[in-house]
Structure 1
């Protein structure tokens, strides 16, 4: 499976940027450049996060996504989310998203991409990013002894934010006795930096049951929402089982919130996820 396609799906499902992206053993992307490909994916996760931060209550979710890639590097993607909440009744689909993007091989070991994702949220969704209706993304990946990735996200909607996420990942082949399958660990570390006006929108929506109206916060609080700084340090350990057309992944993520994180500086959030991808 193409590594780039998997990254597209994971970024769409887990939100952007969320961040650090997805890495793993994959066949060379050049092998699929001569024909269009369709990849479908599923993720079940113990808690939804947004750049390492989580909502006030745990929000386990199941997400389905698909990506259609053209040989020229253009791709189209879609995703839906089913969120489970004990405190707040959720709609059957807590969110959905449509995306379009373009990937370019700058050099053999350097890839760049741009994309736009439009999100659709019901008024009573409990997700932290419910006020973000659109995300414009630019990213660059450099393959060397590891993979270094830098992603810039501009978030649009009820408020505007911008994020820069920089990370490194390394694939370790576990050398199972099979010529058609690969079992690998792909540990990843990333730092997410950004502003957090989306969190102000989340608090207002939560206080007003999704109506999105309320008194503006004091000036001091507004300055905190607008401040650009380190939001989280993210550590992820995926275990990937990869064959020619499908991939299974079990992953653990630990996010340590930075001093600028408004949901709780110094707090540690952990998530466990199980994912499956198939490419036609």
Structure 2
């Protein structure tokens, strides 16, 4: 029972896993040509953005809505609240849209745009960005699926990223409670290359000036911005999501181990484990 593409479409835009703006879909071998509304809610142990976290842990709760059209177009919105802080009430709102396409049985992709809107008091690392154009292509080799994702961030900071992911999707041939449910697992190994001008922007915005001195220049996005403007390896990670699936909804728990490299400025990121619990429902 392969997971319908509209489930994967919601997963693609959940902010549960913000290594990239678009989350790798679990499985898209079955296209469901129906208009649908997808809703999800997610808890995360820390906010992660292109392999980087803030100077403190920011556990969060996020909610998402996605409208999928049978033509392949989709629009979406999400809201995120950092837990443990009364202010602000909502830290982040995202809105965007895009197009899902299939070039062959094994070759799929998405092209999307997302606008990030942050409360002025938001302290998550992602608040150093404002717009993202995302272009993702995936090929299923049978023994594994390879995804190549390109992101261009612009607005408050200007960065480019390439994310490469290799995953293997598996689902149970047996049921748990009745013949309508099944378990799935989609372990993956991922690495991210890119620039990190957003790290400098974050340091300046949040006045971590002593820590930011080693990366600060007047023109924050110039080639003279030292290591931040270099296109280099940023992060390695592996992730194990386990999902309980029914025809209209999925409950997923995931574990990720992240290894940041070439960390610049105030963040001083270390190796870290991330935990996410996500529930999403599809209305046909």
Tell me the TM-score normalized by structure 2.
Answer: 0.86
Query: Matches of 2:25 and 2:74 in 1, distance apart?
Result: 18
Aligned to 2:69: 70
Aligned to 1:231: 234
Query: Matches of 1:184 and 1:256 in 2, distance apart?
Result: 25
Structure 1 counterpart SS, 2:126: coil
Aligned to 1:38: 37
**Gaps spanning 5+ residues in structure 1: where?**
none
The Cα shift of 1:269 comes to: 1.7
Aligned in 2, Cα 1:257/1:19: closer, same or farther, shift over 3 Å?
A: farther
The Cα shift of 1:7 comes to: 4.7
Which structure 2 residues correspond to residues 137-176 of structure 1 after superposition, within 5 A? 137-145=134-142, 146-176=144-174
1:57 and 2:61 matched: no
Query: Matches of 1:14 and 1:116 in 2, distance apart?
Result: 18
The Cα shift of 1:54 comes to: 0.8
Aligned to 2:82: 83
Structure 1 counterpart SS, 2:101: strand
Aligned to 2:20: 18
> Deviation digits for residues 172-196 of structure 1, max 9, x if unmatched?
2244334311112211111111100
Q: How many residues align?
A: 270
Aligned in 2, Cα 1:8/1:140: closer, same or farther, shift over 3 Å?
A: farther
Query: Matches of 2:21 and 2:94 in 1, distance apart?
Result: 16
Structure 1 counterpart SS, 2:124: coil
For the 8 Å contact 2:131–2:153, the answer to whether it is kept is yes
Aligned to 1:99: 96
1:201 and 2:201 matched: yes
Mean alpha-carbon deviation: is it higher for 230-239 or for 166-175? 166-175
- Equivalent of residue 2 in structure 1, options 1, 4, 17: 4
Aligned in 2, Cα 1:268/1:173: closer, same or farther, shift over 3 Å?
A: same
The Cα shift of 1:144 comes to: 2.1
1:264 and 2:268 matched: yes
1:251 and 2:232 matched: no
Aligned in 2, Cα 1:4/1:156: closer, same or farther, shift over 3 Å?
A: farther
| Two-structure CA RMSD over aligned residues (Å) | 2.6
Query: Matches of 1:90 and 1:230 in 2, distance apart?
Result: 35
Tell me the TM-score normalized by structure 1.
Answer: 0.87
For the 8 Å contact 2:19–2:48, the answer to whether it is kept is no
Aligned in 2, Cα 1:272/1:60: closer, same or farther, shift over 3 Å?
A: same
